[in-house]
Amino acid sequence: MSFRREAHVPKGGPDGGDGGRGGDIVMVCDDSYRDLEHFRRQSHFRARRGAHGQGSGRHGADGQALEIPVPPGTEILVEGDSSRHDLLRPGQRALVARGGSGGRGNRHFSSATHQSPRFAQRGLAGEEGWLTLALKLLADAGLVGLPNAGKSSLLARLTRAAPKVAAYPFTTLEPVLGTLHHDDRQLVIADIPGLIAGAAAGAGLGHDFLAHIERTRLLVHVLDLAPADGSDPVANFETVERELALYQERLATLPRILALSKADLVTSGQAESALERWRERLGETVPVLLTSAATRQGVDQLAVELLRRVPLNEPGAGRPGDGGGQRATTGEAALGELAEHRVFRPAPARAFRVARSGDGAYVVEGEGVQRLVARYDLSNEDALAHLERRLRGMGVIRALQEAGFAPGDDVEIAGVAFELDP
C-alpha cells in the first residue's frame, strides 16, 4: 500500500505496485544424465518467490522457474494427484508445481467511487508436495531369461559393455546397457537381471527388473541349452514368458528372438536337434539362433537379426504425430505405443457451500472463497469492505441469507471467523 508523495501535489493517488508471481518447478529431460543418483544428495527443491511490489507503481519481478534435470525414461508421479508425466525425449518438460500468484497493490483497487484504497491484496502460496521418480531404461532390445542363462556374456560379445560375468546366478543386480554399432546405426541393448518364478508378483526384485523391459521394442529370450541345475529348458522358457505376460500384456506381444545359449557345452548334434525342435515349436515368426559367447557362435547372426528387426527410428522418438511414443516394430500396430502423457488441469472450482455450524454461526466452504479470504488482511476495515463486495458479487451473501443468516452473525471462511454485517 503506497500513495504518491510529490511536492505541490497535495492529493497524490495510490501508487502501490503488484507483487510478482512465484516461480514454477519444471522437470526437464536431459540426455546428459543417465540415472537418478543426484537426487540422493538433494531431495528438497524450492523455486524463487516473486518480489514485492513497491511504491511509485513499481511491480515486483516474477520468481525464476526452477528447472530440475532428469534422464530420459523418467516417470514422474505426483503425490495426491492422478497426473503422471513420462519424459522420453531430450528437451521434454513437465510442470510439476505451479508458483503462487502475486498480490495486487492498492492502485489496482482505485475507482471513481473509491479513490484512496488503503489496503493491498496478498499473494498466494505456490503448490508443494512430494514426487515419486522412477527410471525405466530406454533400449531397442532387452535380453531376458532366467539367472545364469548367459545374458551378460552375450551382451559383452555383442557390444563393448563389460557386465559382471561369473559362474553363479544373480551376478547382474541392475540393468546394464550396451551399444551395438553397425555402419551408421546404433542399437541400445539392455541386459536385464535374471527373472524368477513369481517375478511379476514382486518375488525377488521382479518389479524393479520387469519395469526396465517396458520400453524396449524387441526382446531376446536367452535360454540355456544345458542348465547346470538340470532343469528342463522348456519349463524355464515358459516360466519367463509367463512372468512377462503377467506383468504387462504389452510384453507378451513384443517381437521375440530366441537365443539358445551355451551351445558349446553340448554336442553339435544335440544343438542342431534342439534348434529344430524350438523352430517347430515357435513357428516362423520367432527367429531361433544357436549362440555361444565362448566361441562367438551365432553372435554375428544375432547382431544382423537385431538390426533387421528393430526399426530405424530412435528409441522414444516415434514417428511424426504419434505423440512421441515408441513403436515396437513397424507394422505391429497391435503392440500399442508408449504415448507421451498430457496433463489436463481443471480450473479451481468456483462453487461454494453454506452450512450452519451453530446458533448464529455459519461456515462457507469452497476453494474459490477460501483463496479470496486468504488474499486480504481482515483487520483492515477497507479490506473487509472490499471483501464483502466481492462475496456479494459471488452470491455468498445471498446464499447466507437463504440459509437463515442475520446481520451480525459469525461467518467462518478458510478457518477464519468474523462478524459479518452487510
Q: Kindly tell me if the per-residue pLDDT of 165 is higher than 60.
A: no
Distance CA 338, CA 156 (A): 29
**pLDDT band at residue 319, thresholds of 50, 70 and 90?**
very low
Adjacent-strand bridge partners of 259: 222, 289
- Measured at the CA of 120, the angle between CA 19 and CA 362, to 5 degrees, comes to 120
Q: Kindly tell me if the per-residue pLDDT of 1 is higher than 70.
A: yes
- Can you read off the three cell numbers belonging to residue 67? 528447472
Give the pLDDT of residue 330.
32
**What's the mean per-residue pLDDT of the chain?**
79
**pLDDT band at residue 185, thresholds of 50, 70 and 90?**
confident
- Rounded average pLDDT over 27-42: 84
**pLDDT band at residue 182, thresholds of 50, 70 and 90?**
confident
**pTM exceeding 0.85:** no
Pair 5, 12: CB distance under 8 Å: yes
User: Tens digits of per-residue pLDDT, 81-122?
Assistant: 777 888 888 888 999 999 999 999 988 888 888 888 888 888
- Secondary element (H or E) of residue 280: helix 268-282
- Can you read off the three cell numbers belonging to residue 16? 502501490
Q: What pairing do the DSSP bridges indicate for beta strands 176-182 and 185-191?
A: antiparallel
Distance CA 302, CA 288 (A): 9
The values of phi and psi at residue 67, to 5°, are -100, 125
- Rounded average pLDDT over 177-187: 77
Question: Domains of the chain by range and CATH?
Answer: 1-135 (2.70.210.12), 141-330 (3.40.50.300), 353-419 (3.30.300.350)
Give the pLDDT of residue 260.
92
Q: Which is more confident, 200 or 291?
A: 291
- Rounded average pLDDT over 160-188: 65
Give the pLDDT of residue 320.
32
Q: What pairing do the DSSP bridges indicate for beta strands 410-413 and 361-365?
A: parallel
Pair 400, 362: CB distance under 8 Å: yes
Pair 80, 44: CB distance under 8 Å: no
Q: What pairing do the DSSP bridges indicate for beta strands 256-261 and 218-224?
A: parallel
- Can you read off the three cell numbers belonging to residue 72? 530420459
- Measured at the CA of 339, the angle between CA 335 and CA 342, to 5 degrees, comes to 155
Which residue, 36, 78, 40, is CA-closest to 174? 36
- Rounded average pLDDT over 29-47: 85
Distances in Å between the Cα of 248 and the Cα atoms of 180, 253, 324 are 27, 10, 21
- Kindly provide the residue ranges of all beta strands, DSSP E only, lying in 6-145, ordered along the sequence: 25-29, 66-70, 74-78, 84-87, 93-97, 131-135, 141-144
Distance CA 22, CA 103 (A): 11
Spatial CB neighbours of 267, under 8 Å, sequence gap ≥ 6: none
Lowest mean pLDDT, pick from 57-61, 208-212, 309-313, 407-411: 208-212
User: Tens digits of per-residue pLDDT, 118-152?
Assistant: 888 888 899 999 999 988 767 788 888 888 888 88
- Residue identified by cell 507503481 is 57
Adjacent-strand bridge partners of 76: 85, 133
- Rounded average pLDDT over 223-227: 87
- Rounded average pLDDT over 366-380: 85
Give the pLDDT of residue 196.
54
How many C-beta atoms surround the C-beta of residue 112 within 10 A?
Answer: 5
Pair 35, 58: CB distance under 8 Å: no
Pair 72, 90: CB distance under 8 Å: yes
